[in-house]
Amino acid sequence: MWSGTILLILIGAAAVIVRTVVLAHGPRAGRGDVDDGFARHPVLTLIHILPGLLFFLLAPLQFVKRLRERAPRVHRWTGRLVLLLALVVGVSALLMSFETVIGGINETAAVVLFDSLFLCCLIKGWRSVRRGDYVRHREWMIRMFGIGLGIATTRPIMGVFFATARQTGLTPHEFFGTAFWLGFTLTLLAAESWIQYTRRPGQRPAQVH
């Protein structure tokens, strides 16, 4: 699980670096459909991807048991920062789903749904820790992080679509939405599976209200 998580973090970090470079130097040749939306909204894009990079780097530390036990104050303050970053990422993603969309209504629907779940998990996790329910807090944070990693999972899926575009005839406008649905679904399912696998006997599943 950690190996897969680290790989996705590296993919996500690379995507942020590439997007930042492209914003600085202009759209890439032959990739206008992909880059133009971000180029029209550079500030919104940076507000989304730079906090997203910090979120990717800091959130995994919250799940390191040794850090929680040896440096609880660091864990708490880092956790507050992660929640703030997640809020910025989530809200900006909703705005971007209408302003920088590439895959049409299919992509917008996927982003709105999973981003809403992301923000819901954030709120549930925050409420759980405020009540001192650390078991539920952990589970909601895993779900939130799993959904967040979905944006990195879409990258290799998109790579497959780009590599086979000549054979399939599909354009980014046609396959981006599908890539988003697949990427976010896979990581959410992985997060839920990990929760079930690591849940101690007798613990009740967290319920969405």
**182 near 157, Cβ under 8 Å?**
yes
The reported pLDDT for the residue numbered 50 is 95
What's the CA gap between 89 and 170, in Å, rounded?
A: 29
Q: Look at residue 205 and tell me whether its pLDDT is greater than 80.
A: no
| Overall average pLDDT of the 57-65 stretch | 91
The reported pLDDT for the residue numbered 67 is 86
43 domain-assigned = yes
Domain that residue 102 falls in:
2-198
Domains of the chain: total? 1
119 domain-assigned = yes
| Overall average pLDDT of the 122-147 stretch | 95
Binned at pLDDT 50, 70 and 90, residue 207 comes out as very low
What's the CA gap between 36 and 109, in Å, rounded?
A: 20
208 domain-assigned = no
67 domain-assigned = yes
The reported pLDDT for the residue numbered 100 is 84
7 domain-assigned = yes
Q: Look at residue 94 and tell me whether its pLDDT is greater than 90.
A: yes
Structure confidence by residue, pLDDT tens digits, 1-15? 788 999 999 999 999
More confident residue, 49 or 101: 49
Q: In a 10 Å sphere around its CB, with 0-12 CB exposed, 13-18 middle and 19+ buried, how is residue 65 labelled? A: exposed
What's the CA gap between 116 and 68, in Å, rounded?
A: 28
